[in-house]
Amino acid sequence: MPDRDFLEEIIETEAEAARRLQDVREKAQVERQLARQKANELIEKAYSEAASIRQNALDEAERTYSQIVSGSLSDTELGHDALYEDKLSHAADELAERIVCLLEHR
């Protein structure tokens, strides 16, 4: 019965195709999950590095602000030959604005 054998071969081939399709779908799902996990890890690392950079900038700004307010920095340390009182006040105001801006983005 060649027709019967041919029909059984078609059924077996369809079943094999369905198994392979299911295997490929499962493998793709695992790969997507791994890709999501890796992406999440990279994003978390980037956020952590950004927070560290932001904290370092904030710490440095606070130190500089404190030194300016206390008058412990000389004019040459600030990068100016002659720093007038209004320029000092202006620099302190700008630095305070930057600190507030950094604190808002925490």
User: Which residue has 């930057």 as its token pair?
Assistant: 98
Res 78: pLDDT: 52
Q: Please give the model's pTM, rounded to 2 decimal places.
A: 0.50
Residue 91, C-beta contacts closer than 8 angstroms, at least 6 positions apart:
68, 78, 83
Per residue in 3-56, pLDDT (tens digit) is 678 889 999 999 999 999 999 999 999 999 999 999 999 999 999 999 899 899
Res 106: pLDDT: 59
Per residue in 59-103, pLDDT (tens digit) is 888 888 888 888 765 555 555 545 567 777 777 788 888 887 777
* Structural domain spans, the chain: 2-104
